Structure 1
Amino acid sequence: MATATGLLAAIADVGVDRVRGGYSRHGFDRDELALREWFVGEATARGLDVEVDRNGNIWAWWGRPGPDAVVTGSHLDSVPGGGAFDGPLGVVAALAAVDGLRARGFVPARPLAVVVFAEEEGGRFGVPCLGSRLLAGTIDPDAARRLRDRDGTTVADAARAAGLDPDRMGRDDEALGRIGQFVELHVEQGRGLVDLGRAVGVASTILAHGRWRFRFTGEGNHAGATPITDRHDPMLPASRLVLAARSAASALPGARATVGRLVPVPGGTNVIASTVDVWLDARAADDGTTRAVVADITAAAREAAAAEGCQVEVTEESYGDTVFFDPVLRDELAGLLGGAPALPSGAGHDAGILAARVPTAMLFVRNPTGISHAPAEHAEPADCEAGVDALVAVLAHLAGDGR
């Protein structure tokens, strides 16, 4: 019977980032495709029936696909230079849970499936939870098909190269209609369980959050030949935005605002940039606070751009309001797991997208570093297996006689 840590070890060499550290595995790139192939092999070896939906999500079925299924799983892609556990832990735990259930002689009374969602992190095309958003119909499929990576490859191009028909992408009511309940296991992205001394918890909410792109346009010129007084340098308002993000978030309790990516064009050391693109990630407990943070940052960006004789264009690339996980299912699972603590999540998840459509819950596994989206992300082997045991108990309860 496979263990979660053993399955993680089997993919440990895929997508190693020699420059950033950690892993860089992005939707439909070589490494993510290798992981998808690996998953199909593991699922097939367990006698699960595998299908890929029209949005690139992979489903592995134990029992005949049908309505009222119990579904678990996560994603295999990563942020640039991400950790080994964010996403893959939920996938390998699901496979290990299937092994654990079979070892107990369990036969599901309801269909049970393991799903791998496509492009959850948005590390390649910029929009997080792309596979689940397309499935649930929360993103326009034409807009999704037009998304481009840094090399100019569109989602449509990448999907086609992966053997999908991009023209069929979009809301999939048939797939949604099969899901009776969805449970995603995930490494905790924070220190809540460490502070509580617990190995496993359940999720209560996800912060309202979104991504915005600020494009500052100025005048490209020579770094040595252009006097300071003659410059319209978009890097100045871009840098002021970074500082404004920290200031605006600090002024509102619980708010977070981050600039993690900044791209000047043309990007030469001795060149005044003509444009600078800055991506802002903003989050807070509710929609009003999140929008207020972004409004303050936007006002500061516009003021700084005008002072430098530049223009700024602001584009909302993705947004999700506060997610409240199904309270009945949350409390049911917390009780089943011996009073597992309920914790809010500052990170987005595919479970958060599905929560508006189907009863959804999340299990968290303790992360001793509290770090995520970085190489130091970690979960101890014993805690990973505790997560598998918890998932076995949950799936047995939901897919057996627990209803």
Structure 2
Amino acid sequence: MSGLDAIAGIGADRRRGGYSRHVFDDAERHLREWFVEQAESRGLEVETDANTNLWAWWGKPGEDAVVTGSHLDSVPGGGAFDGPLGVVCALEAVDLLRERGFQPSRPLAVVVFAEEEGGRFGVPCLGSRLMTGTIDADRARRLRDTDGISLAEAMGSFGADPARIGRDEGALRRIGHFVELHVEQGKGLVDLNRPVAVADSILGHGRWRFRFRGQGNHAGATLIDDRKDPMLPAAELVVAARRAAAATADGRATVGRLVPNPGGTNVIASAVDLYLDARAPRGARAMVEDLAEQAMELASQEGCSVEVVEESFGDTVHFDAALRDRLCEVLDDVPSLPTGAGHDAGVLAAEKPTAMLFVRNPTGISHAPEEHATVEDCEEGSHALARVLTDLAG
């Protein structure tokens, strides 16, 4: 797709492969500039809300609007489609509607949410969580990235006012329906041999930080019996998490990040931060509570301590059934699929009628460079989204 081709060089990660595009960094700034340019070239009116989400309006902004869009940021070393595909298809759907002479009878907007992946400040769907008030604004301002820069500091250097963030009643009133298109992050459509589907639900999921504290020391001069090495209980918890997920119905538990301090090869760490992503239809918190008890026992055996902090959590989301069925009918009975991946649409679902469209990913891989979608399937997605917008805004 021409839109994806135009941004293919932005945020390419030479070390990890794929893309690293995080809120308020240079790559994300260039992507925002690209979006504004693309929107304004189509005659859309662009504005930035208090939480730094971007809105591009077809016609005059107003309440009860039909809103579509996604995000532009990525996980570290992520794929090219997760997020940007939904933005590109939204702009292309606007083009298709205009080619057909369509005039919306309701306000229509394309939105780009900030920090959906949580790749910089650790909290996913931050832009939509702030807008809906599901994260406290003071807590959000205190969030820090791996360089110790707070969200408030990063916003200030970006030219935004951190004092203004928080629940945005005006923005919420403007949303009548929200439909997010996204590359599928799994193999459901591959197995069904279909290019497009409608989302049914999102698995309950959360993120937790386990901080193991011990005694930093010399790797060569410290006898094994004299050590208080926090890496040992952290390593054992990685294995325990896999076992806990296997014992939980449709459970998933992943340790994707382990940060020792100070991080030297010949140094026994003084502390280790372990970041756990846990998901399940029911019982994700119970699974983590059990792991926290195991962590305390493992830490105690090594003469260490552990602190557990919940960084984010969202219960299982079931999308608006009437809207889901309406979209399936509009799209000639496309399949309806659950997903284990979180999205801004899932956050908004508690406030507004919300739906999602998935585009087939032939590799079934996401959050990695191998993530993919064919040009033909992407075009199918744009046409499907155009039909949905015609139905909702016509």
Q: Which residue of 1 aligns with 2:43?
A: 47
- Is 1:370 aligned with 2:354? no
Question: Does the residue aligned with 2:342 lie in a helix, a strand or coil?
Answer: coil
* Aligned residue in 2 for 1:228: 224
Within 5 Å, which residues of 2 pair with 1:231-380? 231-286=227-282, 289-380=283-374
TM-score, normalised to structure 1, is: 0.97
Equivalent position of 2:16 in the other structure: 20
How do residues 21-100 of structure 1 correspond to structure 2 at under 5 angstroms? 21-100=17-96
Query: Please, which runs of 5 or more residues in structure 1 have no aligned partner?
Result: none
1:211 aligns with 2:207: yes
1:15-70 per-position Cα deviation (integer Å, ceiling 9, x unaligned): 00000000000011010010001000000000000000000000000021111100
The answer for the alignment partner of 1:129 in structure 2 is 125
2:150 — aligned with what? 154
Is 2:102 aligned against 1:106? Answer: yes
The offset of 1:366, in angstroms, is 0.3
Q: Aligned equivalents of 1:107 and 1:135: distance in 2? A: 29
**Deviation of the 1:111 alpha carbon:** 0.3
**1:305 aligned partner, one-letter code:** A
Q: Residue deviations 1:168-205, cap 9 Å, x none? A: 00000000000000000000000000100110000011
- Return the match for 1:390 from 380, 384, 392: 384
1:171 alignment partner in structure 2: 167
1:137 & 1:291 partners in 2: Cα distance?
21
Q: In 2, Cα distance between the equivalents of 1:38 and 1:161? A: 20
Letter in 2 for 1:145: R
The code of the aligned residue for 2:342 comes to G
Inter-partner Cα distance in structure 1 for 2:130 and 2:233: 35
Which residue in 2 is equivalent to 1:195? 191
Of 168, 174, 177, the match for 1:181: 177
Measure the CA separation in 1 of the matches of 2:109 and 2:41.
15
Letter in 1 for 2:259: V
**Counterpart Cα distance in 1 of 2:269 and 2:148:** 20
Alpha-carbon deviation of 1:240? Answer: 0.7
Structure 2: unaligned runs, 5 residues or longer = none
Could you report, residue by residue, the CA deviation over 1:345-396 in whole angstroms, capped at 9, with x for unpaired residues?
A: 1000000000000000000000000000000000011000000000000001
**CA displacement at 1:315 relative to structure 2:** 0.2
Alignment partners' CA distance in 2, 1:246 and 1:208 = 17
Q: How far is 1:296 from its partner?
A: 2.1
Query: How far 1:295 sits from its partner (Å)?
Result: 1.8
Specify the code of the residue in structure 1 equivalent to 2:139.
A
Q: 1:252: Cα distance to partner?
A: 1.4
Q: Could you tell me how far apart the structure 2 residues matched to 1:316 and 1:177 are? A: 30
Q: TM-score, normalised by structure 2?
A: 0.99
SS at match of 1:150: coil
- Note the C-alpha offset of 1:251: 0.8
Provide the alpha-carbon RMSD of the alignment: 0.5
Runs in 1 of length 4+ with deviation above 3 angstroms?
none
Deviation of 1:292 after TM superposition, in Å, equals 2.0
Tell me the secondary structure at the aligned position of residue 292 of structure 1: helix
Q: How many residues align?
A: 394
Q: Distance in 2 between matches of 1:141 and 1:261?
A: 26
In structure 2, distance between residues paired with 1:153 and 1:97: 38
- Sequence identity percentage: 70
- 1:144 is aligned, of 135, 140, 144, to 140
Give the Cα–Cα distance (whole angstroms) in 1 for the partners of residues 59 and 328 of structure 2: 27
Instruction: Measure the CA separation in 2 of the matches of 1:210 and 1:199.
Output: 29
Give the Cα separation in 1 of the matches to 2:15 and 2:247. Answer: 35
